[in-house]
Chains A and B, each alone.
Chain A
Amino acid sequence: MKRDHNHLQPNPDPSSLRGAPSTGKAKVWDEESAQQDCGMDELLAVLGYKVKTSDMAEVARKLEQLEEVMCNVQDDGISHLASETVHYNPSDLSTWLESMLSELNPPSTFDPFGAAGTAAAALDDSFLVPAESSTLTTLDFDNINRKHQKSGQQIFEEASCSDYDLKAIPGKAIYSQKTQPQTHDSSSSSTPTNVKSEKRFKSTSGPPSPSDIFPPPPPPAAASYGIPTASTRPVVLVDSQENGIRLVHALMACAEAVQQNNLNLAEALVKQIGFLAISQAGAMRKVATYFAEALARRIYRFYPQNPLDHSFSDVLHMHFYETCPYLKFAHFTANQAILEAFEGKKRVHVIDFSMNQGMQWPALMQALALRVGGPPAFRLTGFGPPSHDNSDHLQEVGCKLAQFAKKIHVEFEYRGFVANSLADLDASMLDLRPSEVEAVAVNSVFELHKLLARPGAIDKVFSVVKQMKPELVTIVEQEANHNGPVFLDRFTESLHFYSTLFDSLEGSVSSQDKVMSEVYLGKQICNVVACEGVDRIEGHESLTQWRNRLSTAGFSPVHLGSNAFKQASMLLALFAGGDGYGVEENNGCLMLGWHNRPLIITSAWKLTNKTTAISQ
């Protein structure tokens, strides 16, 4: 019987397949897999699990051990593993199993934070169960939810709710110190999700709850095997109507003409796109329009203005922040990682490369304020580009944050730096204190890719970051390859990326926010398509590429865990059209996607080798 197994891996030896039974048949397969690279079991690797063949027996032993322990403890022990334990990087089976084993052994005393030295909370309903920092909303919501759990409505998980109070996340409510409920987010369609949002936003005011917060224990130092993967091009088609396809065809044809420098043809096609776009509905029309405009600029060499036009950018940024979850997800997940890294530290310093209006920080400060043992002294250094109206924009932001800090009783220090590029930064400017005295976290949300336009810039920044000796570096970037050398490839990739992004905006409730967000993204589109060289700052690169850069530069991954995942997922449900958003865990990073297409990724890093930082 013929068999076409060329596509399978590894290629088994045909003679050993059939009719040649031997006692060690299982072994034959394992040996073959062992020949593959790094000694990683390749069959499991394809399925997302990283287990060295030489470790297989050990992993099996751990599984058996866990099974045994789970049989012997009562049901509580197991449910604790599910509801309270924070899981990290499930791809690394060995470490994952080990961490569960250490949670269950010894099973008698329930003290998961013995090592961390903080007292475990009593398991009281009104208390926050350790390790599960949680819901973004007030306790009211959680009570409602608990009642609904049994009735089979949308299930939002469990009884464990900590008061990691991220009320600030819904936006202006806390930050501007007014208590406006975000009613505009909650109106509209009849889906249950939206009805729930209305309930959730009812009580946005109120002092931070005095309940405990237990940041989870630091993640196990898991080695990330990092099997290099070829780049993937994920695509989701959300609009397969006839006109949509023709529009995409025309856009691609035009881009191709531009690439071939056939500008007459390109010009004709751009006009055609204009006509086709009019007959198209929804997201596709807007995306096509922006891409067409960008193509036109390229054809007519009418390049966009200096992209560092920040007064308007700020407004757009804020609307984008409100409309869709991308920035909130970024802030939220980065904050979670920072909170974990700052555990036990008395003085902390956040260096933010992406200051903007400082919207990320109230939530972190609040969580720090509610920490057991009290908040650390919190220092914030923010970077931003110069303002066009000569106002000291960064200073204003700092003042607002200082007022907020005072309100929540957190010792606060602030410094703003204006710079055209992060590459202008020098560690000496920062007044860094010894790392034993003050823990540093560096944060960058959608900023690093801008450095790729200028040769050497990213390396300079990495080297400066290392000099800061950070506990943690949090990076959020678009999951896209918009930085390749071939124009047509960049065009194609970005067309799909922004189509997906625009589609996710369609469900937004506030039309003003939506329009502003589209303009915000439209500027990025323009930059990707129409600009070149140092002006093309929207040089997004994929996670694989960032991982390579960062590990070459001397950084190692720090994993984000199941608690951050869960809370991020719950955050997403607050947004209209929430169903399409999804969070995925990938080797310790958290990805936010729309209908399974990954769009942005939060990753966290630490210095591979702290001591060498001094010499760089």
Chain B
Amino acid sequence: MNYGFLSSFFQKDLFLVLGFVFECLKERGMAGSNEVNLNECKTVVPLNTWVLISSFKLAYNLLRRPDGTFNRHLAEFLDRKVPANLNPVDGVFSFDVLIDRATGLLCRIYRPATAEEPEPNIVELEKPVVGDVVPVIIFFHGGSFAHSSANSAIYDTLCRRLVGICKAVVVSVNYRRAPENRYPCAYDDGWTAFKWVNSRSWLQSQKDSKVHIYLAGDSSGGNIAHHVAARAVESGIDVLGNILLNPMFGGQERTESEMRLDGKYFVTLRDRDWYWRAFLPEGENRDHPACNPFGPNGRSLEGIKFPKSLVVVAGLDLIQDWQLAYVEGLRKAGKEVKLLYMEQATIGFYLLPNNNHFHTVMDEISEFVGSDC
């Protein structure tokens, strides 16, 4: 666990935090049924991060309807998107590919611009990658299965970073979302994208003429990465590693962290429940294996060649007990897993490069992917 040095930061701010907590306790009387203590989470993240995540929270509250439907038009209107861009920005260019017309499945491909080809030519977008080993990261964006897209600005930015950090090609999958498209659509789209990537000759590493695939994702994307990996290994295709950032898992019981952190750091149990209800098949509960892969309806991975995993858990994420249970499940089945527990991190810490957790995690990801040379 890699959180030791962070606690010193916490100690220095202890008095500040205590002061705020005192204020919060005073104001607790005014909280309505959605008890959210804003001052507390304001102390643990930089102000602009707080503004960003709070804005998302506000928008998301508007979009979820009590009857389980979703205001998709408003969601698309509010989401900040960026187009693909053949002009390299900070050494990375991108383009979209329609990989399945029937479902309209798009992926956005991010590639590093090379010294020889600083301005990529339109005909050479699918030029073979150069290198003995070129990692290809298939990325599944987060959004609790309902929000965001591959072209959302937050994810476009994150994918670009991954290219630089891992010297990889990143393929971001624009999977179908809930509640319009429930389980297993997102997984099916992930699988379609996986097969597509695996069959691209231009993505093959020169060493062995194979595509070196990593699966990565945050929140619901992390969940998708797990399930696609499981399907891949079942089909006999190698996955070199899974990178799960604050992966979205859950279960029917209420865990300690869920109750302790409910409403404290941008996320409520109520909204988590809403998203599971929107994604899982109607009538299913949260012990469905999609939600709870190592739960009562889950399946052991023992004897299966599941890839090594890097799992990042934010210490202020209310679903951390489920994420830790996931890690435990992998360990019990004898799978290689590295847990990064970021004690003072909230959800979304990886969206802005303005905190230590961000840099720690990026370094770990780089090492995780780089160690296969």
Contact = CB atoms under 8 A, between A and B. Distances in A.
A43 B353 contact: yes
Interface stretch (A58-66, A116-124, A356-364, A512-520): A58-66
Contact of A157 (B52, B58, B72, B92): B72
Interface in A223-237: 230-237
A210 interface: no
B353 A8 contact: yes
B231 to A, nearest CB: 24
Given A4-B164, A149-B69, A565-B76, A71 B33 contact: yes
Contacts of B82: 48, 232
B16 A569 contact: no
A610 interface: no
Residue from B51, B70, B153 whose CB has the most chain A CB atoms within 10 Å: B51
Interface stretch (A11-19, A343-351, A421-429): A11-19
A209 B52 CA distance: 43
A43 B354 contact: yes
Interface string A65-106: 011101110010011011100010011010001000000000
B199 to A, nearest CB: 12
A562 B71 CA distance: 12
Contacts of B257: none
A519 to B, nearest CB: 25
B241 to A, nearest CB: 19
B197 to A, nearest CB: 13
Contacts of A585: 77-78
A580 interface: yes
Interface in A25-39: 25-26, 29-30, 33
A236 B36 contact: no
A580 B51 contact: no
A7 B165 CA distance: 9
B254 interface: no
A60 B47 contact: yes
Interface stretch (A397-405, A443-451, A595-603): A595-603
Contact of A158 (B9, B16, B71): B71
B72 A26 contact: no
B97 A3 contact: no
Interface size class on chain A is: 35 or more
Given A7-B161, A598-B83, A47 B74 contact: no
Contacts of B97: 236-238, 240
A154 B89 CA distance: 37
A17 B359 contact: yes
Contact of B9 (A21, A68, A71, A579): A21
B48 A33 contact: yes
A25 B12 CA distance: 10
Residue from A12, A17, A63, A158 whose CB has the most chain B CB atoms within 10 Å: A63
Contacts of B275: none
A93 B85 CA distance: 25
Contacts of A370: none
Contacts of A297: none
Interface residues of B, number: 88
A308 interface: no
A317 interface: no
Interface in B74-125: 74, 76-78, 80-87, 89-92, 95-98, 101, 104, 106, 108, 121-123, 125
Interface in A547-586: 562, 565-566, 569-570, 579-580, 582-585
Interface stretch (B38-46, B204-212, B287-295, B315-323): B38-46
A59 B51 contact: yes
Interface stretch (A168-176, A244-252, A388-396, A527-535): A244-252
B132 interface: no
B104 A41 contact: no
B73 A47 contact: no
A49 interface: yes
A22 interface: yes
Nearest to B352: A43
A316 interface: no
A305 interface: no
Contacts of A81: 62
B371 interface: no
B179 interface: yes
A221 interface: no
B101 to A, nearest CB: 8
Contacts of B50: 60
B373 interface: no
B351 interface: yes
Contacts of B104: 579-580, 595
Nearest to B89: A230
20 contacts: A1-B363, A3-B362, A3-B363, A7-B91, A17-B359, A48-B82, A67-B36, A71-B31, A82-B62, A90-B77, A149-B69, A150-B69, A157-B72, A234-B83, A235-B96, A236-B98, A565-B77, A579-B104, A585-B77, A595-B106
Interface of A: 1, 3-9, 12, 17-19, 21-23, 25-26, 29-30, 33, 41, 43-44, 46-49, 51, 53, 56-57, 59-60, 63-64, 66-68, 70-72, 75, 78-79, 81-83, 87, 90-91, 93, 97, 149-150, 152, 154-155, 157-158, 230-238, 240, 245, 248-249, 252, 492, 495-496, 562, 565-566, 569-570, 579-580, 582-585, 595-598
Interface of B: 5, 8-9, 12-13, 16, 30-34, 36, 38, 42, 45-48, 50-52, 54-55, 58-59, 61-63, 65-67, 69-74, 76-78, 80-87, 89-92, 95-98, 101, 104, 106, 108, 121-123, 125-126, 151, 153-154, 157, 160-161, 164-165, 174, 179-180, 182, 282, 351-356, 359, 362-363, 366
Given A19-B5, A155-B69, A597-B96, 4 more contacts: A157-B72, A234-B85, A237-B96, A562-B78
What 4 pairs between A and B have smallest CB-CB spacing? A48-B80, A71-B32, A234-B83, A21-B9
